[in-house]
């Protein structure tokens, strides 16, 4: 599919979007989340967003909040829509929401083999803070995850 000029829109994910979200997820990843995982994320009140282009869902993201921090659980763009700034726009939406909701840091895991995602996260300001061994399923067994952190605001050490 060739993308024409479009007006990108990011809006909260709705239950009616789930089949389309699942389709994007299946095109974006070899080991996609199921529709039930997305349904549970909505039910639990996670920050779930969709990226629209030409009035159709072409991407999505999920953010979980915890005390003082947020965790990007999922971010995907349909491969037909890569390299148009849509992933960056979704990531920036998540960072803005995390800050609005009081997070000091945002964490995520990414496959080292997913070079475009690693590049996006590093270019946005995420820094590596760890590695999770055998985190992701892979064709030949398991793949590690890089753990990255984005600092929204510096916090003074306790006692100062």
Cα(155)–Cα(151) distance, integer angstroms: 10
- Write down the H helix ranges in the chain: 18-28, 35-43, 86-100, 115-124
| Residue 75 labelled as part of a binding site | yes
Catalytic residue among 69, 99, 104, 109: 109
Cα(15)–Cα(33) distance, integer angstroms: 15
46 catalytic? Reply is no
| Residue 77 labelled as part of a binding site | yes
31 catalytic? Reply is no
Radius of gyration of the chain (CA): 16
Looking up tokens 């915890």, which residue turns up? 66
Check: CB of residue 71 under 8 Å from CB of residue 63: yes
Q: How is residue 62 written in tokens? A: 């999920």
| Residue 76 labelled as part of a binding site | yes
Catalytic residue among 121, 136, 143, 150: 121
For residue 97, the SS3 value is helix
Q: Per the annotation, where are the binding residues?
A: 75-77, 114
Q: Per the annotation, where are the binding residues for acetyl-CoA?
A: 75-77, 114
Catalytic residues: 109, 121
């Amino acid at each position: 599919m060739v993308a024409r000029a479009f007006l990108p829109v990011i809006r909260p994910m709705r239950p009616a979007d789930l089949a389309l979200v699942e389709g994007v997820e299946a095109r974006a990843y070899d080991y996609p989340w199921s529709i039930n995982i997305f349904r549970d994320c909505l039910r639990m009140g996670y920050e779930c967003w969709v990226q629209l282009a030409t009035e159709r869902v072409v991407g999505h993201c999920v953010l979980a909040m915890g005390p003082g921090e947020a965790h990007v659980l999922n971010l995907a763009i349909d491969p037909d829509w890569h390299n148009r700034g849509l992933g960056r726009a979704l990531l920036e939406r998540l960072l803005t929401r995390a800050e609005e909701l009081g997070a000091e840091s945002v964490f995520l895991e990414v496959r080292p083999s997913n070079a475009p995602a690693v590049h996006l996260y590093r270019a946005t300001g995420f820094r590596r803070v760890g590695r999770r061994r055998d985190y992701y399923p892979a064709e030949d067994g398991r793949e590690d995850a890089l753990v990255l952190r984005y600092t929204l605001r510096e916090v003074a050490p306790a006692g100062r």
